[in-house]
Chain A
Amino acid sequence: MATTYFTSDHEWLRVEGGIATVGITDYAQEQLGDLVFVELPETGKKLTKGDTAVVVESVKAASDVYAPVDGEITEANGTLSSDPSLVNSAATGAGWLWKMRLADESQLAGLMDEAAYKAHIG
């Protein structure tokens, strides 16, 4: 069964079988405004927690999305190349950004659950 975690950088991770699907929260997409481009990572890229995994670009500015944990990219959401606005319209669904194989599942313990995240954004 999948478990969903949240970070203080407004990302969500849905973890199932050692693979995390990662996206930004609805709160984050609202703050960013209309996205016009998503720079996606290459499959196989190894990331350390805190590395820039994806750059999302709104009309006005570019923002980094960081790897919330260590791992290796297994898939990027290619649909976003033609329709970056999916991140706005379906941030926690079809607008996911990438999937990664977790290097160390114990890192998940430092993340928030939904209730804690809701309290975090107030």
Chain B
Amino acid sequence: MTGDDTRHLPLEDIHVAAGARFGAFAGWSMPLTYPAGVMKEHLHTREQAGLFDISHMKLFEVSGPEAVPLLNRACPLDAGALEISQSKLSFFLNEAGGILDDLIVTRLGDARFMVVANAGNAVADEKHLRALATDFEAKVEPLDRVFLAIQGPEAWAALSRAGIETGSLLFMHGVEPRKNWFMSRSGYTGEDGFEIGLPEADARDLVAKLLGDERVLWIGLAARDSLRLEAGLCLHGQDITPETDPASAALMWAIPKDIRASGAFIGADALRAAVERGPAQKRVGLKPEGRQPVRGGAALFDADGNPAGQVTSGGFGPSAGHPVAMGYVSTPLAKPGMRVFADVRGTKIPVDISSLPFTPHRYRKG
């Protein structure tokens, strides 16, 4: 295709050769499924190891004598309290406390950090961080990397066979195992797994080795979405947006207590006020009764037919074996066991508020 701004993955030729079906996501042409299909791809990831090309996501290196104060301003984070190699989920907030993006920040050195941002927000994130950086002695450098994720119980063993030892690395830690590589034990599936940013030539070599292992299969964006939904993980732009704050999104656990109280991050005052007021709605897991999926955008009602919230992500959970969803409901209803009703093409489907995740996390924490 010519004349459009769609971006293409550096390894696109490999995905084409693997028989991927492509679709547009966040401005990128992305593999949605491979010939195995979403159901098999999803289950394979939970049972063995799934390989994902997530090069649409962006890595930024933030460094300099004032890298810590820059990140503490940009995120509700105590960057100086992170140990070397420790990763943390954080956010860019707007002045109203709304979530501009969710990010993983990893400390690489005393004054050096890796920030991993979502594809759809990468350009805005870079602009935002660069603008803030002008007040600090720190620089923001977007890295040109292929970004791969390998997820599932056999992920570590497949990497080991490919010559990459992951032994002592624990969940939510990241290191630089080779020149221009970044590898963290993290992911978006609820399984043990790794995300690896690396130069294209190295990536081609690693992919060839990994695909030579019968435990490893390419997994497309469709299964990535059903995996993360079962794991109760948010997709920015759907489950969290600039209109939702971390309190309503049930993500306050990502913000250290002292930072909530006294941090000077952007949006601090608004977030404190929101916490004090108590959110009107909260993000919850939603389990529709029966087999029919309830999709993002569906309106939710209480038993008396009053508006009670909305679904933000929904589909079928291949491992759960039933439809799964998440969304926002008014706070009094935001407790497991409460029941609401989703409007699906005019039919009201009973939906139980459910704790998240739907499929237990299996992270390697130590």
Contact = CB atoms under 8 A, between A and B. Distances in A.
Interface of A: 33-34, 36-37, 39, 55, 57-62, 81, 84
A82 to B, nearest CB: 9
A81 B291 CA distance: 9
Contact of B226 (A37, A55, A57, A59): A59
A34 B316 CA distance: 10
B291 A58 contact: no
A55 B38 contact: no
Nearest to A52: B345
A57 B345 contact: no
B225 A60 contact: yes
B292 A39 contact: yes
A33 B316 contact: no
A59 B230 CA distance: 12
Contacts of B39: 33-34, 59
B345 A33 contact: no
B318 A59 contact: yes
A84 B293 CA distance: 13
B292 A59 contact: no
A37 B33 contact: no
Nearest to A57: B293
Nearest to A39: B292
Contacts of A61: 295
A33 B38 contact: yes
Contacts of B292: 37, 39, 57
> Which 4 A-B residue pairs are closest in the complex by CB-CB distance?
A36-B316, A34-B39, A59-B38, A59-B316
Interface in B197-230: 222-223, 225-226
Contacts of A37: 291-293, 316, 323
Contacts of A34: 37-39
B293 A33 contact: no
A58 B318 CA distance: 11
B226 A60 contact: yes
Interface in B256-295: 291-293, 295
Given A36-B291, A37-B293, A59 B315 contact: yes
Nearest to A61: B295
